Structure 1
């Protein structure tokens, strides 16, 4: 065979090979998660000779061991320092994690439907910026790393994407509390600056460490006819104030485990307590507010009266300049810092609401800002500028607001809700947009208390369940969170769920 015939044979073979490659390219589309070329496009170009053995083409035949594919595929330009990559993320609605397609997916549509017969995948297009650092390229999108190919082919890199599942937060500890009183107008939970938790159950108040949940002490009225209707920790020390259903206010020293004194004066249930240094203010269901100077024998130094309606909330501002009181008839009153006031004294401001003002709290970083939550007939969260008596922002929660808490670290508000959800809602301040919801109760969330380091909070609901939640997690603690054992808790009133 002549030399020209051999060349014609080579040209015919190459033309046939090139035509075959074009057909493959037309039949198979690129996968979006492969930004440059897919793996099957990077195989060395080979052809078969008449004997059936593989033979390299063109320059490769002249220089064995070197493969040239520039005539088959165009050479891709060098990857720039910054670029935008499209990735296809397929999320199955019932799956906790998302699947990312890498390379090819040769399954037919019928095979996919058979594997997921009742699930329709949701496809999202995500863009991310790539920054080079040596042979590793880091994506601007969280959890995505682009690794440069080895062996000198810089144009190749593969997407490795890990998408974290969106799972509703769960409480660290869920505790049964037997005998918990389901009363909207009581305040029977408080968390002290000394990291002590107090909760009233019937005629007893139980105290345990906020750090270990180990039971420390139990205060009992030793009475079958009266119960503890409110409690509050003093800001300085371990003194606990307790209000009772027969109008008595008691002081207990937890360190010495002794009752310091009994203070009388109310004729009805003491439903709310609030400390202003050595002044303890107490509110009763008959509408009166008493100021007690706990340093002196004649403790009753002042009295306020609010329309003879039940006082269901009392809060001294953090600057101790103003006292806010809420009543069952929907009246929010602001009183001056004057412990020696007389009965006929009038509040500085009176702000009416359409239902009881029980959920109420001062903003920790804005001294004249107060948040209130409406009862069953209202359900509106309001943030007030007390100086101007104007609403900064309000939002309808569509349920009874039973408790309210500020979260200083995140500048957010938390509300404990009633029906239909019985959940806790977290609101971004000042816009009051609902950022998240926490579900862990089957009854209305009556009480919420924040730990002194603001890392955890405790919720207590009408279903007799107390839940300990984490407020803020570091990246390390997400992987190794410490879960407290409910076995530490007092067997007098707690049972493991």
Structure 2
């Protein structure tokens, strides 16, 4: 098209045409003109000439002009998935020929690409919302609770599977009067006596009785997986004994060192014992005396817990101080130039190390703290803060990580938040809902996924089963011990355990 326009404009005019038709030979011989395509201009109709002249726009000059910043950019409300032609688009529908080409390629089909700059306000937004809803429905998948999670176990059956009467159990909420062995025996201390029940045979055995001079039994703990029949007990006067539940006899006794009793926990043959004076004493069953003493606390040590790999020992005292002791280095990791890194605003008894991440520690504070702190002990610094904080405004008496999924269970005592009116704040509602309850939190979101009211009075202590699926809780005021199925094992072990233990019995 452009070549025909070029030859049309280069023609000499009417004078050249007349001289050619007059037949002047010498002029033709001297010039020897090249025949022009304009010679066949008679074949072009007037309509064709008009079309060529219209199409001879100087597109190069128009398109070469840059857009200045003052040039407004048109914005439309059309859907982003359908292109809209701007005002600077090429005039593709200027001639019948370009119309035919555009229609052949579907560029001017009203059904495909002929959007308008002023869409109807009712149809386009509704269509857009429908498209977005349908797209979101494709990407959103309905999440179902894992069969291992507490939501699929305790959340569906919010009731205990076993109940035991516990008259005479210690009313001290900082005592640890109950433990669950790897031989599936539940041991409980009642004042001066220690009993245990085999949950498979249902046999109840009276293990031992402490003297009046030794005081009532304050804490007990079973040996680990390698020594499931070994039980340690400590009295309020500070006497520590180790008993063999199979032979029903005492194997070793460590004399009173003049300090009262706190918490205790086994690590192989080594037993860590918290004292009322603030020290933590380490005993070895193969020796008749203590092997070392950890100095760092100034008040009674309520919580004592070894990590799952046995490399670190966490301790919490009545003043809210938490220390972590490195067994290999025989030194504290949390005390740098008398600056304690891990603190609560209330007494700390609840401690739990993660079984699937050895440096993850959960600590819980009593009144007036009511918070769960989750620490990474590898990243503690003099000014470090906990990785996560869960505020519950209720005394936290024990903590347990699930070995099968990333969930944390906490047991609670009474709440100190007393509502003054019928209109409760958010913190008051949260405190009242967790009072005397078992609460399961997901990790790392720390969301509350299950909340079960376990007792009508504060939960003083709890222990986890050897398969990591069930929890025994004790309420000293209610004088009741209850077993709850919280999680499930991946391989289904112990799935039917406790299924027929819905009867109510007494442990002594």
Shorter chain as denominator, the TM-score bin is 0.5 to 0.7
Q: Distance in 2 between matches of 1:483 and 1:181?
A: 25
Larger helix fraction of residues: 2
**Higher relative contact order (Cα pairs below 8 Å, separated by 6+ residues):** 2
Q: 1:262 offset after TM fit, Å?
A: 1.2
Q: Does 1:303 align with 2:317?
A: no
Q: 1:185 aligns with which of 171, 174, 177?
A: 174
Alignment of 1:351-366 (within 5 A): 351-366=342-357
Tell me the alpha carbon deviations over residues 261-314 of structure 1, each in whole angstroms, 9 at most, x when there is no partner. 2102432321111112111111111111111121123x2111112333000011
Residue 413 of structure 1 corresponds to: 408
Q: Which structure 1 residue ranges, 5 or more long, are not aligned?
A: 1-127, 130-139, 143-165, 493-497
Alignment of 1:385-400 (within 5 A): 385-389=376-380, 390-400=385-395
Tell me the alpha carbon deviations over residues 72-94 of structure 1, each in whole angstroms, 9 at most, x when there is no partner. xxxxxxxxxxxxxxxxxxxxxxx
* SS in structure 2 of the partner of residue 283 of structure 1: strand
Q: Distance in 2 between matches of 1:219 and 1:233?
A: 14
> Is contact 1:403–1:448 with CA below 8 Å preserved after alignment?
yes
Alignment of 1:75-154 (within 5 A): none
Q: Distance in 2 between matches of 1:408 and 1:307?
A: 30
Residue 485 of structure 2 corresponds to: 470
Residue 39 of structure 1 corresponds to: none
Alignment of 1:135-214 (within 5 A): 169-214=158-203
* TM-score, normalised via structure 1 length: 0.61
Q: Distance in 2 between matches of 1:306 and 1:192?
A: 30
Residue 448 of structure 1 corresponds to: 462
> Is contact 1:374–1:380 with CA below 8 Å preserved after alignment?
yes
Q: 1:327 offset after TM fit, Å?
A: 0.4
Q: Distance in 1 between matches of 2:402 and 2:440?
A: 9
The structure that has the greater radius of gyration is 2
> Is contact 2:214–2:235 with CA below 8 Å preserved after alignment?
no
Larger strand fraction of residues: 1
* SS in structure 1 of the partner of residue 394 of structure 2: coil
Residue 371 of structure 1 corresponds to: 362
> Is contact 1:282–1:289 with CA below 8 Å preserved after alignment?
yes
> Is contact 1:371–1:381 with CA below 8 Å preserved after alignment?
yes
Residue 111 of structure 2 corresponds to: none
Q: 1:403 offset after TM fit, Å?
A: 1.1
- Over the aligned positions, Cα root-mean-square deviation in angstroms equals 2.8
> Is contact 1:423–1:438 with CA below 8 Å preserved after alignment?
yes
* SS in structure 2 of the partner of residue 445 of structure 1: coil
Alignment of 1:165-314 (within 5 A): 169-223=158-212, 226-235=215-224, 236-237=226-227, 238-297=229-288, 299-314=289-304
Q: 1:215 offset after TM fit, Å?
A: 1.1
Instruction: Rate the CA distance shift 1:384–1:213 in 2: closer, same or farther, 3 A.
Output: farther
Q: Does 1:383 align with 2:398?
A: no
The number of equivalent residue pairs is 324
After superposing on structure 2, the runs of 4+ consecutive aligned residues of structure 1 that deviate more than 4 Å are 345-349
Instruction: Rate the CA distance shift 1:301–1:212 in 2: closer, same or farther, 3 A.
Output: same
* SS in structure 2 of the partner of residue 391 of structure 1: coil
